């Protein structure tokens, strides 16, 4: 149920987010935001940065559809205090994957929901330890073109490259759309929503994840 709005819109061009949001028992339209993604401000934390970008995306679409509710999201990798977004070319993708190899970093996703009468935001961080993949694996992955629309230049769910050795925290946060947190923000916005268990594999997330518990009690 939507709070005095006509529909729910996902302001994203990400195929992964578009697929994951279909796991919710609510009808969702997908309309990508056309806003620019600015760099972090001096001294801005990763959490504040991704929330700012998620809110920019949501408000960009909400301005065009003011009677609807809009959800925006943004994901970055944080490595040794530096925010890493999507690589712009093959050289940058290779350098990023080389630097992340065999080390730990964080993946941070911001969520924003804008309705005709409310605005709610949140962010979530997950710790990742990458495996010690080979130079040849990096080359093949970069050549495939997969890194270029992904923060940090990789997809944790990639069945061939499978870059992560350890995921500590929300797995879907690393994919770019933490459904547990998305549901929390939607509910804070007055949008009643639950999960379709046949559309997701909750075992990929920790046992304490709301997706593995009683979803109707999620607050």
Q: Which two tokens stand for residue 71?
A: 């959800």
Lowest mean pLDDT segment, chosen from 4-8, 81-85, 143-147, 196-200: 196-200
pTM above 0.75, yes or no: yes
Lowest mean pLDDT segment, chosen from 1-10, 28-37, 123-132, 199-208: 199-208
Give the integer Cα–Cα distance in Å for 213 and 127.
22
Bridging pattern class, strands 69-79 and 82-84 = antiparallel
Residue with tokens 């940090």: 152
Q: In this structure, are residues 11 and 60 in contact, taking their beta carbons and an 8 Å threshold?
A: yes
Residue with tokens 């949008």: 191
Give the integer Cα–Cα distance in Å for 94 and 33.
28
Query: CATH fold of 8-217, please?
Result: Maf protein (3.90.950)
- Which residues on neighbouring strands pair with residue 180, listed in sequence order? none
Per residue in 43-73, pLDDT tens? Answer: 999 999 999 999 999 999 999 999 999 999 9
Q: Which two tokens stand for residue 182?
A: 């998305």
Residue with tokens 């995921």: 167
Query: Which residues have a Cβ under 8 Å from the Cβ of 33 and sit 6 or more positions away?
Result: 11, 12, 13, 56, 57, 58, 60, 61, 72
Question: What are the start-end ranges of the H helices in the chain?
Answer: 15-20, 46-62, 90-100, 135-144, 171-175, 179-188
Per residue in 68-127, pLDDT tens? Answer: 999 999 999 999 999 999 999 999 999 999 999 999 999 999 999 999 999 999 999 999
Give the integer Cα–Cα distance in Å for 173 and 123.
10
What's the mean per-residue pLDDT of the chain?
90
Beta strands in 11-68 (DSSP E): 28-30
Per residue in 147-170, pLDDT tens? Answer: 999 999 999 999 999 999 999 999
Q: Which two tokens stand for residue 166?
A: 């350890």
Q: Which two tokens stand for residue 158?
A: 């990639």
Point out the residues that are catalytic: 74
Lowest mean pLDDT segment, chosen from 4-8, 39-43, 61-65, 173-177: 4-8
The tally of CA atoms less than 13 A away on the side-chain side of residue 84 is: 23
Residue 34 has a pLDDT of: 93
Give the integer Cα–Cα distance in Å for 60 and 148.
23
Q: Which two tokens stand for residue 93?
A: 């993708």
Backbone phi, psi, residue 5, to 5°: -135, 160
């Amino acid at each position: 149920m939507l709070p005095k709005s006509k529909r729910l819109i996902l302001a994203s061009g990400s195929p992964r987010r578009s697929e994951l949001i279909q796991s919710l028992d609510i009808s969702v339209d997908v309309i990508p935001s056309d806003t620019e993604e600015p760099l972090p401000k001096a001294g801005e934390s990763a959490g504040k940065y991704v929330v700012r970008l998620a809110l920019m995306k949501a408000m960009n679409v909400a301005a065009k559809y003011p009677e609807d509710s809009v959800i925006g999201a943004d994901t970055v990798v944080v490595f040794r205090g530096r925010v890493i977004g999507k690589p712009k070319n093959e050289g940058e993708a290779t350098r990023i994957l080389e630097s992340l190899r065999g080390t730990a970093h964080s993946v941070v996703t911001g969520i924003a929901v804008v309705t005709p009468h409310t605005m709610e935001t949140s962010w979530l961080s997950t710790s990742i330890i990458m495996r010690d993949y080979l130079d040849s694996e990096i080359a093949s992955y970069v050549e495939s073109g997969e890194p270029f629309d992904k923060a940090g230049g990789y997809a944790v769910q990639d069945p061939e490259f499978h870059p992560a050795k350890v995921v500590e925290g929300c797995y879907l946060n690393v994919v770019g759309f933490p459904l547990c947190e998305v549901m929390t923000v939607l509910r804070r916005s007055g949008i009643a929503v639950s999960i379709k268990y046949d559309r997701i594999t909750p075992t990929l997330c920790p046992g304490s994840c709301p997706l593995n518990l009683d979803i109707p009690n999620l607050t």
